Structure formats: structure tokens, C-alpha cells
């Protein structure tokens, strides 16, 4: 996969939202939703972006598409740097990059028919005659598994899974190369989730699409992603090929996340890694801790973790992590230097109770 060229390059991306207070509404701080994220997405691959709620996944995805003005950093899509582009010039890039949103009901205009919703990008970006637009809309409906007879129906007449297919068809209208899928299955029934993910995979194979797949469902990410990036409190703490990350994670937060994934096969349940229950709450992104963001909850915390933010470095070929445990200057043999006041994780067998 790495032999291919990166379609998307993100370098030290930051999205800080100002906090205003007082009578004069002066800025008194900032919410560091995304705080120095770096990764590449190669042509034709799916990069999974995972992490708990509030870690900055969706903000990162929207920032990559420049739906926000970046605080700092750079984003390159298909060889073009868009980090500082004006919204007017970005309009011409929208044919290359699109988004599938989380809530299929909220992102569809209830006053527009399905045909008008799917055809809206064509109205905005092409000067095609009406007949050609209608033919393209019907082709898109075929691609995502919707009946052409539903062309003049409204969103409320469809199920959640069908609405998400409408959103996918709209994203495909301009034949983009890169699509950000922002938790596209989170609002769907479990029985429908697999259908939507299989559709995304089929479209990727057929059209050569590149995905940034944002999700908190680690089982689904393992199914669809080629590589996986793990976010915590605005930063990517680990990035690796899928199998390497799931089989041998190098960051304690990734270990804790993976230990919570249910094992559906009873025969494998006994060999499941022990459950790691993190104590404490996620710190506020407006006031992250000094040193490593994870030091307040890490079961393997060392004294250095409270002072120095670990560098995001390549520990093994293609496997990146931001943890002092992987630094030869510290390493696991120094774990006894952990501060006694640091919270310890409660370890139980998966499915057990404390």
C-alpha cells in the first residue's frame, strides 16, 4: 500500500476553537479539538480513525475537507495544498473530495425530493442539461441500491439505511477521489450497518475511492480499514496497519480500547486479552494535562510522562506511536518509577464485574 502515492497528506493539523468570556467577550482560552495531527492516506486505501467520543475525530475529518478554517497546519489533497485556500477557490476542489455525514436524517433537506438531493451537486458544479442530470441521478441510485421509482419521494418516506444510501449517492455525484465517512453507520440499526459498509467497500473497488473512515466501532473498522489511526484528546497516539495494531498495539490507550471489543466466538473468548478499565474522566480539551495527554489515566504511567509530551515516532516499519514506553531512553524497565498518585487501571477478565 505504501508504494502508492499519498492522495491526502496532513501535517501538524490544529483546530483550536476560542473561548470567550466576560462583558467584553475577550478570548480567555481555546478548546484544542485537534492538536497537531499528522498522517497520510494513500490512493485506494481506507484509513480508519478511531477513539472515544469527544476526542476530535469528526473535527479532524471536517478540517481535512476544509469545512473549517484551520488554526494551523497543512492539508494536501491530490497534490494541491488547501490549508490556506479561500472558500471560493476550494469550491473547485469539491469535485475531488466529498463527505458522508453521520446522521442520514439531519443531512437531507426534508423539502427536497431524492432526485433533487442527489442531483444538487450537479446543479452547483456542472452546466449539464436536465436530461443528462436525470440520467446521472438514476445511475447513482442504481449504484447504491435504490429503486429509480423513488426518484420523486421525500426523505421521510425512507428508512435510516435508505437515507444513508441517498447521502452516499449525493457524495458520489461528482465522481470524487476522496470521501470522508464520518461515522456513517452510527445512527443505523445493527442489521443495516453491515449492508452500508459492504456498499462502501463495493463502491471503493468499483470506483477506486479513497476513504477516511471515522468510527468508534472497532470491530467494523477492523473489517473495512487498511490502516488505523487512534486518537485521544485531539492527538493521534498510534497509527499502524490494521493487523499490526489489533494484534500488538504499542500504546496503552489502544490496548484499553481493544480490550473492550466483544469477542463473538465463544471458542476464542478464553484467549481474549484481559479487560483494561480506565479510571477517571477524559481531561478537558480546553485544559489538557502537562506532558502526555493520557498520563492522568494511563496504567503504565511514568514520572517522565507528566513532564514531556512523547514524540509521535515510527517504532516499527509503518507502525507509529506516541508513548515513552517505546523510547529506548525510558522503556518498560523504568515503569517502577511511576508516580504512586497516578490512577491505576482495574484489570478484569472481559465481561467480568468489579
| Residue 328 CA, distance from chain mean position | 30
d(CA 295, CA 249): 17
- Domain's final residue, options 175, 204, 229: 175
Sign of the torsion angle spanned by Cα atoms 341, 342, 348, 353: positive
Domain hosting 332: range is 250-348
| Residue 48 CA, distance from chain mean position | 6
- Number of neighbours of residue 90 by Cβ within 10 angstroms: 16
Overall number of domains in the chain: 2
Residue 20 inside a domain? The answer is no
For 88-124, the pLDDT digits (tens) are 889 888 899 999 998 888 999 999 999 999 999 999 9
Residue 290 inside a domain? The answer is yes
More confident residue, 189 or 143: 143
In the 8-state DSSP scheme, what is residue 282? P
Ranked by mean pLDDT, the top range of 103-107, 115-119, 192-196, 264-268 is 115-119
CA-closest candidate to residue 276, choices 186, 219, 343, 217:
343
Whole-model pTM over 0.85: yes
Residue 218 inside a domain? The answer is no
Contact 8, 38 (CB under 8 A): no
Residue 322 inside a domain? The answer is yes
CA-closest candidate to residue 68, choices 81, 82, 47, 49:
82
For 50-59, the pLDDT digits (tens) are 998 889 999 9
- Domain's final residue, options 137, 153, 175: 175
CA-closest candidate to residue 144, choices 204, 208, 220:
204
- Domain's final residue, options 137, 156, 175: 175
Residue 189 inside a domain? The answer is no
Helix segments in 97-176, DSSP class H:
114-125, 130-143, 160-172
Residue 31 inside a domain? The answer is no
Helix or strand (DSSP H, E) at 42: strand 26-42
Is residue 338 domain-shared with residue 255, that is, in the same domain? yes
Q: Across the strands, what pairs with 98?
A: 179
Amino acid at each position: 500500500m505504501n508504494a502508492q502515492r499519498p492522495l491526502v497528506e496532513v501535517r501538524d493539523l490544529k483546530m483550536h476553537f476560542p473561548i470567550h468570556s466576560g462583558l467584553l467577550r475577550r478570548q480567555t482560552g481555546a478548546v484544542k479539538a485537534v492538536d497537531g495531527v499528522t498522517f497520510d492516506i494513500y490512493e485506494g486505501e481506507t484509513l480508519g480513525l478511531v477513539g472515544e467520543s469527544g476526542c476530535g475525530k469528526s473535527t479532524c475529518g471536517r478540517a481535512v475537507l476544509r469545512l473549517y478554517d484551520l488554526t494551523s497546519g497543512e492539508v494536501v489533497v491530490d497534490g494541491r495544498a488547501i490549508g490556506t485556500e479561500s472558500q471560493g477557490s476550494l469550491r473547485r476542489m469539491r469535485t475531488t473530495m466529498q463527505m458522508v455525514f453521520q446522521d442520514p436524517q439531519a443531512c437531507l433537506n426534508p423539502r427536497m425530493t431524492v432526485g433533487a438531493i442527489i442531483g444538487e451537486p450537479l446543479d452547483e458544479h456542472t452546466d449539464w442539461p436536465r436530461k443528462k442530470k436525470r440520467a446521472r441521478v438514476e445511475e447513482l441510485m442504481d449504484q447504491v441500491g435504490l429503486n429509480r421509482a423513488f426518484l420523486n419521494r421525500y426523505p421521510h418516506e425512507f428508512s435510516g439505511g435508505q437515507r444513508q444510501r441517498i447521502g452516499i449517492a449525493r457524495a458520489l455525484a461528482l465522481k470524487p477521489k476522496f470521501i470522508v465517512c464520518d461515522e456513517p453507520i452510527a445512527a443505523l440499526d445493527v442489521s443495516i450497518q453491515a449492508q452500508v459498509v459492504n456498499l462502501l467497500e463495493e463502491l471503493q473497488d468499483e470506483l477506486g475511492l479513497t476513504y477516511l473512515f471515522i468510527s468508534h466501532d472497532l470491530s467494523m473498522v477492523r473489517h473495512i480499514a487498511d490502516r488505523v489511526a487512534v486518537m485521544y484528546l485531539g492527538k493521534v497516539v498510534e497509527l499502524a496497519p490494521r493487523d499490526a495494531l489489533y494484534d500488538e498495539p504499542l500504546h496503552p490507550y489502544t490496548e484499553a480500547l481493544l480490550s473492550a471489543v466483544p469477542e463473538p466466538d465463544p471458542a476464542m473468548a478464553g484467549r481474549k486479552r484481559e479487560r483494561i478499565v480506565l479510571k477517571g474522566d477524559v481531561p478537558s480539551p480546553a485544559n489538557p494535562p502537562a506532558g502526555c495527554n493520557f498520563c492522568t489515566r494511563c496504567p503504565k504511567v511514568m514520572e517522565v510522562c507528566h513532564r514531556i509530551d512523547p514524540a509521535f515516532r515510527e517504532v516499527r516499519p509503518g507502525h507509529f506511536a506516541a508513548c515513552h514506553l517505546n523510547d529506548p531512553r525510558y522503556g518498560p524497565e523504568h515503569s517502577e518509577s511511576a508516580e504512586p498518585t497516578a490512577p491505576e487501571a482495574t484489570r478484569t477478565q472481559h465481561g467480568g464485574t468489579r
